[in-house]
Every structure is written in C-alpha cells, then in structure tokens.
Amino acid sequence: MKSVCFYFQVHQPYRVKNYRVFDIGNDAEYFNDRGESNLNNRKIIEKVAQKSYIPATKLLIDLLNRHPEMRVSFSFSGVALEQLELYAPEVIALFKQLIDTGRVEVLGETYYHSLAFFYSPSEFERQVAKHRDKIRKFFGVWPRVFRNTELSYRNDLGQWADKNGYVGVLAEGWDPVLGWRSPNYVYRPKGSQNAKLLLKNYRLSDDVAFRFSSRDWSEWPLTAEKFAQWLGVAEGDVVNLFMDYETFGEHQWEDTGIFSFLEKLPEELAKNEGIDFKTPSEVITSYDARDEIDMPNTVTWADTDRDLTAWTGNPMQRSAIDAIYALEDKIMLANDRKLLEDWRKLQTSDHFYYMCTKWFSDGDVHAYFSPYESPYDAHIAYMNALQDLKLRLEKAK
C-alpha cells in the first residue's frame, strides 16, 4: 500500500500599513489600512476568500462526501483565523463543516506564524499553546502533528515536538539533507523517542503549487489523470504533497483549471491499485520510520536556498527581527493585552519576508510576493510601527 498525504497551509498576516514617521506617538493602529493597495488586510481577506478559500473548501467538502476514502490535512495560522472571523466568517463555517467530516486533520503551529522558535523558546511555547487553544475552541480537535512556520525545521524542533507529545513533525524533503534517501518514507528526527518526520516531496508538490499553469513547462497542461499516474508510479510508502491552500484559486487562478484538476484527482487516483489517502497521523501510524534524519541547520520550504535567508538574509531584516524580540521582557512585564497582541502580530514571518532583497535586483517579480513598493519601504513602515510600540511600552510602565 502507498499513500498520498495532502497538507494545505492557510495563512494571512496582518500587513503593516504605510506607517510613517509622523504617525509615531499618534497612531496605535498599525494594521488598519483601508485604501486600495494590497496593504488593506480586509480587502485581501475578502478577495482570497472569494477566489480561493470558499470555492476550494466547498469543493473539498463535496469531494469528501463523494469519496469516503479521501483524507486531507490543514494548518491554520491564528492570525488568518482571526481575520477570517472578522472579514469572511463564511469561510470559518466552511472550515468547521470540513473538519466535522472527521477525515481532515488539523496540524499545530504558532498562532502568529512566527519564527519565535529561533528567537525565543518561551514565546514560541506560548504561541503554540495559544494556537492549540484556538483550534480546540474553533474546531474541537487537538493537533497531534506539528509544522513550524515556513516548514522551518532543525533537530531541536523535532526533539521539542517529541518531548511535547506530538506524534510527528513536517519538514522539507531537501536533497542535500536526504542524500540518496527518498522523501517518500517516514523518518525519525535525530534524538527523538517517538515522534516521526514527514518530508515534503517538493517536486510533485511544486508541480501543482508552482508549475501548474506554466506554459513553459514541458508537462503543461497537467491533468489529474497524468498526475495520478505519477503518484501511482512513485516509489516509497507515502507521497507528501504540502502546499499553500491559496494554490487553489489565488496562486493558480480558476481559469487555469486548478479546481477541475482537484475535483478529478480522487477518481483518477482510485484507478491506481494500492494507493490511498492518509492524514499525517495515519501515515505515522501506518508506516515505520526507515532511518534517522539529521538536520543540524535550519531547512525551510523557501526558494532555492531552503534556509531562513529569505527572512533574515540582510542587515535590515536581522535588525528588525532582533528589535522585536528584544522587547519580550518589557512586554511581558507591561501586562497590557493590546500591546502584547500588537507585539506578536509584528512577529509574523511575512513582515521580514517583505524586506527580502535576495532576488530584488533581478527584477524577478514572481519570486517574491510583497504588497510594498520595495523591501526598503516594508522595512521603513515596520520600523516606524515598532518605534511607536516602544513609546507605548514606555508609557505603560
């Protein structure tokens, strides 16, 4: 038997508006852009809900009803759920319906989709706990498998998950780490007693997430039939297809045929003998770990480097992320709910990603999505907001 394991990521940050030097000390609302730009969080949420979340979730509910063997998994950032609750509550209702089928697993992550694991273990734990509570309150389930922001992983994350009772962790199946080994097996994190490691098959995942509508690609157009055949002949125990949920309808627009691709996939897969759907927990129960994976350095699912340089690669990113975590002690002492929330919303990884200059010179607009005119503008808005936060913090004492 071989399994296909889908995991979809749902995340939307609170984008910082063009917060200017004049606003410092005068405006404590950093995320309330109401203009026409892509800094307007409400506008973005409404748009993504219409184009992606609503049609994709309706389709999945329908598919789960029609195909009793079907399974998928999701991870929702807390900040995405908060904003959906506010601006597109219909999506939350659909997610509940989806999870109520009992065949959709919900994974654990940090509430604020942050990189806290690498900067503050205590804050990381608090954000994971807050996320767990939210998931339980919203969907009545308890995450048993963990995935860290941007699929970032290294040995100590596996060990942390193991100690904290998770049965598994998700990570990138990156060739330099795997060597001759295939991502299509279950592994054991180095130093872990029980927890297992599931590795993304990035080639097959990216065929859908990135290449689906690319006419330069020799396999275009990708049909459900063709993709099901590829999955059928893939070696190993499990093919882990991990991708952003926005793949359906937002990254790949409806007119690319992405929805009909998804719709036909279960029936096409059923034509293959000995292949089924499993959630991450089911995969972990069904298959033994084949080997131990040693990842002393952080690996992520980002770009061609698969490291954290998209978030911390240049001096302005590092100074911004250092500056936000440097406030932790004072924020905790201040004991002010709004301050704490704003501080945490500013930890979301996207803020630092928007400051990335890696391929900015090459004019590769597709490599990075950013609502700002430039990484420098992103940094300026962020640092201005941070300066205001510091002022508020001083006043709160």
Partner 1 sequence: MFGWEFPPHNSGGLGVACQGLTRAMAARGIEIVFVMPKKIDVAAPWARFVFADSGVEARAVNSSLKPYVTGNGYARALHDAAIYGVSLLQEVRRYALLGGQIAQEERFDVIYAHDWLSFGAGVEAKRVSGKPLIVHVHATEFDRCGGPMGINEEVYEIEKEGMRAADRIIAVSQFTKDLIMREYGVPESKIKVVHNGIDELGESQGPNRLRLAALKASGYSIVLFLGRVTLQKGPDYFLRAARSVLEREPRTVFFMSGSGDMERQIMDMAAQFGISDRVLFTGFLRGHDRTEVYKAADLFVMPSVSEPFGITALEAMKSGTPVLLSKQSGAAEAVKHALKVDFWDVDEMTNKIAAVLRHKGLRQTLSEHGKHEASRLTWEDAAGKVENVLQETLLAGVQ
d(CA 1, CA 269): 13
* Closest CB 24 distance from partner 1, rounded Å: 9
The smaller minimum CB distance to partner 1, of residues 155 and 387, is found at 387
The answer to whether 226 and 219 have CB atoms below 8 angstroms apart is yes
The smaller minimum CB distance to partner 1, of residues 284 and 346, is found at 346
Q: Please, which contacts does 337-345 make with residues 24 or more away whose CB atoms are closer than 8 Å?
A: 338/28, 339/389, 339/392, 339/393, 339/396, 342/28, 342/30, 342/389, 343/389, 344/111, 344/112, 344/114, 344/127, 345/13, 345/14, 345/30, 345/31, 345/79, 345/112
Interaction of residue 22 with partner 1, rule CB under 8 A: yes
* Closest CB 40 distance from partner 1, rounded Å: 19
Query: In the structure encoding, which two tokens stand for residue 116, read together?
Result: 């806290």
* Closest CB 351 distance from partner 1, rounded Å: 13
Interaction of residue 373 with partner 1, rule CB under 8 A: yes
The smaller minimum CB distance to partner 1, of residues 267 and 377, is found at 377
The answer to whether 245 and 9 have CB atoms below 8 angstroms apart is yes
Interaction of residue 26 with partner 1, rule CB under 8 A: no
Catalytic-labelled residue, pool 82, 109, 123, 150: 150
Among 384, 385, 388, 393, indicate the residue that binds partner 1 (CB under 8 A).
384
Interaction of residue 385 with partner 1, rule CB under 8 A: no
Interaction of residue 309 with partner 1, rule CB under 8 A: no
d(CA 324, CA 343): 7
Report the site for partner 1 in 320-359 (rule: CB under 8 A). Answer: 320, 357
Interaction of residue 387 with partner 1, rule CB under 8 A: yes
Q: Is 150 a catalytic residue?
A: yes
d(CA 75, CA 11): 8
Which of 326, 348, 322 lies closest to 393, judged by CA?
Answer: 326
Interaction of residue 379 with partner 1, rule CB under 8 A: yes
Among 380, 385, 389, 393, indicate the residue that binds partner 1 (CB under 8 A).
380
The answer to whether 278 and 71 have CB atoms below 8 angstroms apart is yes
* Closest CB 380 distance from partner 1, rounded Å: 4
* Total number of residues that touch partner 1 (CB under 8 A): 24
The smaller minimum CB distance to partner 1, of residues 285 and 319, is found at 319
d(CA 221, CA 214): 8
| β-pair partners for 396 | none
Provide the 8-state DSSP code for 209: H
Bond before 89 cis per omega within 30 degrees:
no
Among 87, 230, 253, 360, indicate the residue that binds partner 1 (CB under 8 A).
360
Among 120, 148, 314, 348, indicate the residue that binds partner 1 (CB under 8 A).
314
d(CA 6, CA 107): 12
Interaction of residue 316 with partner 1, rule CB under 8 A: yes
Active site residues: 150
**Residues at the site binding partner 1, with contacts judged by CB under 8 A:** 20-22, 314-320, 357, 360-361, 363, 373-377, 379-380, 383-384, 387
